[in-house]
Structure 1
């Protein structure tokens, strides 16, 4: 065979191999409810650090839901039109998100839930943490600190999101154990530090000297309440304040003794969901590549076909806070 024919044959083989590799690359979309706050930023970064994304096996596209169910629906329509292989979904609304899941299901695209829930039986599987448990844990930490008597305020997440619904359920369970505690105010601050600060400033004015505890359904809102307390020239350590998520500023506040927090492992939720998305897209021909399954032996991957995978909560303490802060550098 002539040299130029050999060269052409070699080139053709390389192109064929490249085309095969390109064909094998999975197109996976992630649809979180919004990217403004640190928790979902950590969640997104964990997806991008997944071994399958770093190796090029997966082409990952992350959408910003902008805290709007209609925006998330349009993003699903885009992914359906562009024939994504799988979708990871973190819905803003437990009910409205079902329409998006239905659209993907009708197009034959598997949807893996992560972090927040959707009221749909069509999810292939779900990776998250039981928010009822965290709601109980955080409220109990506040109630224990105030001796099960006095007055508290509750800062809720976006009304209608599963985390808000379940954390409130946990909050109420703890409050029922302390009948002498009165809830002075209860309102959504939409996971926002700024909104929580404004609400808390108003409540401090409306109930001077009466608020003993703050139950913030996430860390951002608890931190907003702390800022309001400081602005009012009061000492945050005179209040019992709790949040959920274990974001960086909250870790520092725990270390400082101004609040309590419970770590929600965004990395485990994100990478676990991506492993399951790849598993579904490859119809089971895949072994998980993330190390999170070894990290949480009580949450085994098994055959990848379970409907639900629950990532455990980790209370942030003075003993583990420095180690957790190391992971944020």
Structure 2
């Protein structure tokens, strides 16, 4: 081959005609450390994160870690994510204080951590996407007290002691109870978000306070449903009790529809996908535009603001007979 021909071929292959196709960018590695996957709400949260457009397209490689309701397990999972050099972490901690060391590990390795659903008492979080749990506590307490006419006896079923949702919802409940001196709290104990534990508690309380309990204020729906099971098992009429919980899980929506309880919907999709969008903005930079539709749905109450907010509060939705059928259709 003549030299001029070789030169021409070289110039041609230096152009896009003979160029080797560019390799696709590696997906963004994001870990989601959730406190536990036993209950339906965190299952809904996880499913929503997995349905984010960036995950479905392969732009994000999402790894979900089940914390098994144990702060030490979550701490060890952060060790794994730091070692594997994840790009960002979504964190739903089981304990508001025990989580601090885990976040510090990630921060030391310059891995941004976005909190979601439950809080961690540290300023090292890059952002937080959740809901105001004090407000939720006020809403469920008000629902129960309204039904009993703001006088009578109630029991309170709490979440895991030390988790931010337990602390904040109890604060909200006490805010309401403090304004109603004719309401007496007969019992207050944790059932750790568990339907089974709440059932056992309620069985004991129905025996210890036979005929005296008018209302059940539960910090989540699973525990409210456990109380309902105990009432039915005791041969009592559920409609003789005022019962309310938080989350809007499927069984609770059906219980609202049948008139057995009240509930407040916590939007798992908005919390999970919102947190993932904020994490992607931290990784990709200020030009990143959110992929989830939730920002349009909550545009007036929770604007994107370039993903720079330290805190995003997803609004609560009271579950009513008017909207419960629509909410159930989405499941």
- TM-score for the superposition, normalised by structure 1: 0.95
What is aligned with 2:312? 309
1:21 equivalent in structure 2 = 25
How many equivalent pairs are there? 319
Unpaired runs of 5+ residues, structure 2, are 1-5
- Runs of 4+ aligned structure 1 residues displaced above 6 Å come to 9-12
| Cα 1:201–1:54 shift into 2, 3 Å | same
In structure 1, C-alpha distance between the alignment counterparts of 2:200 and 2:192, rounded to whole Å = 12
User: 2:158 corresponds to which residue?
Assistant: 156
Cα distance in structure 1, aligned partners of 2:78 and 2:18: 39
Within 2, Cα distance between the matches of 1:258 and 1:41? 24
Comparing 283-292 with 265-274, greater Cα deviation is found at: 283-292
Among 85, 88, 95, the alignment partner of 1:86 is 88
CA distance in 2, matches of 1:91, 1:228: 30
Cα deviation 1:115-164 (Å, max 9, x = unaligned):
00000001110000000001001001101111111100000000000000
Q: Which moved more, 1:233-242 or 1:277-286?
A: 277-286
Deviation at 1:10, TM superposition (A): 8.7
Greater gyration radius: 2
| Aligned twin of 2:329 | 326
**Distance apart, 1:12 and its partner CA:** 7.7
Q: Using the TM superposition, give the Cα deviation of residue 21 of structure 1 relative to its aligned residue in structure 2, in angstroms.
A: 2.0
Could you list the runs of 5+ residues in structure 1 that have no partner in the other structure? none
Name the CA distance, whole Å, in 2 between partners of 1:183 and 1:68.
30
CA RMSD of aligned residues (A): 1.5
Question: In structure 2, what is the equivalent of residue 30 of structure 1?
Answer: 32
- Aligned match of 1:281: 283
Q: Structure 1 residue 281: deviation in Å?
A: 1.1
Counterpart-to-counterpart distance in 2, 1:117 and 1:12: 50
Classify 1:21/1:232 alpha carbon distance in 2 versus 1 (closer, same or farther; 3 Å).
same
Cα deviation code 1:247-302 (max 9, x no counterpart): 00000000000000000000000000000011111132311010000000210001
Structure 2 Cα separation of the partners of residues 119 and 188 of structure 1: 21
